[in-house]
Amino acid sequence: MKKIYILLLFAVLTFQSALAQNNDLKHPSAVAKEDGFSYRSLLKLLNMDSVYIGSKFESGYHDWLGILYSRVGRYKDARREADAVGTMFVSPMRFAHNYKDVKAVPLSQVMDSIIENNRVIMMNEMHFNPISRAFLISWLEKCYQNGYRYLAVETLRASDSLLNQRRTVLLGETGWYSDEPVFGDLFRTALNMGYTLVPYEGDGFGVDREVNQAKNLVKNILDKDPEAKFLLLGGFGHIADRNGWYTMGRYFKEQSGIDPFTINCILAFDDPYGETDSLQTVYYDLIDNMPVREPIFLYDTVKHIYPCTAGMDVTCCLPRTRFIEDNIPDWKLYNGKVLYTIDRCFIDKNGFPEGCISALLKSEGEQCVPIDQYMYGKDEKEFKLALYKGEYLLRFDDGKEFKYATVEVK
């Protein structure tokens, strides 16, 4: 009896100790913030695996690992972390029975009509994968030619009030997620084209946040320019505007009287690795058999936009990602970017055996978001960066110190 009592006491004390540790545990975002949501943040979190797995923050841990992996060009690792969260993807069986009725329409057939017949176009994204950001970059020029002058983005911080005058994207200041190179380049491209970048994040949580986001869009754009046309990039389901969804998109429609055209870029999600089963696998034969490799919109055979269950106007399927030299996804080669090779000889001469390399435009300096960034291992003989032609400052980081080199991409 005494032995049982001792065992029970030990179990209680162990439970209380674990509970106390859980209560003292910081959210992974708070840990990442200590090093500016950088490569060093990723290293710190990776070393805390045993602390977070099994804790109340396990889901948030994988979420932030995915976001940080995407910032350093490790897209396959980012995808695996997102899969570990377990809530990112929809079972294909939900829509499989309607598969025979689906018609795939190339974006090129409908893009002009969408741009010309709408004042507000909203797209969404998953924060761990920059593919939607690259997709939006491809809309900027044609939309600008048709009178769109504003780009509203959920991640923008209102505190960076000089962004549109400065026309450069600052690390740690411009937005929560914009330190990622493709996101930074979305802003850079839009600013250079003449767009005004507009923050609209709202205070509060849940419904309060959604309502306040909609109010900020009206206040920051339409109250100042009642005839404005604009593009918007939001996270996940915030842009939903119908079918009972009460999110930012729905509240914006009610407050402004404008029906935005909402494009769901995440439901039929790109799965280039064959490691998970996503909704898009149901449509791979439709996508891969298109005569031209381009995004497609999905419609049913009676021309109703499909599927409608996400509360958005259309589902967009982006082409299946193809990797170039293993580490560069093909969607990263936009705006005339070229591949620049970093080999082991160059690393040994200028950098560290393993670490992170950031390619910064010399004209912008270290305070701005790099054009590309990659976390490389000690066994990699070479890898590619996706860069514009020009002069760069290359910064090598081993997690403790920096080394620098300069190169010109011709």
Written in H, E and C, the secondary structure of 272-291 is CCCCCCCHHHHHHHHHHCCC
pLDDT on residue 322? 85
Give 127: exposed, middle or buried? Use CB within 10 Å, 0-12, 13-18, 19+.
buried
Instruction: Give 259-297 pLDDT, tens digit per residue.
Output: 999 998 876 555 544 444 444 455 666 677 777 788 888
Q: What is the pLDDT of residue 86?
A: 62
Distance CA(200)–CA(237), nearest Å, equals 16
| Residue listed under structure tokens 């998109």 | 249
User: Quick one: pLDDT at residue 319?
Assistant: 81
Runs of H (alpha helix) within 257-360? 284-288, 344-350
| The pLDDT of residue 268 | 53
The architecture of the domain spanning 336-409 is Sandwich (2.60)
pTM recorded for the entire structure = 0.88
Instruction: Give 286-292's long-range contacts (Cβ < 8 A, gap of 24+).
Output: 286/102, 286/104, 286/317, 287/104, 287/317, 287/319, 287/320, 288/320, 290/104, 290/106, 292/106, 292/108
Using 70 as the pLDDT threshold, list the residues of the chain that sit under it: 1-23, 86-102, 243, 267-286, 299-310
Shared fold status for 96-317 and 336-409: no
Pairing of strands 120-125, 230-235: parallel
Rounded to an integer, what is the distance from CA 29 to the centroid of its chain?
16
Going from N- to C-terminal start, the domains of the chain cover: 2-85, 96-317, 336-409
> What's the CATH fold of domain 96-317?
Rossmann fold (3.40.50)
Distance between CA atoms of 270 and 283, rounded to whole angstroms? 11
**Which residue, 359, 357, 388, is CA-closest to 374?**
357
Q: Are 319 and 287 in contact (CB under 8 A)?
A: yes
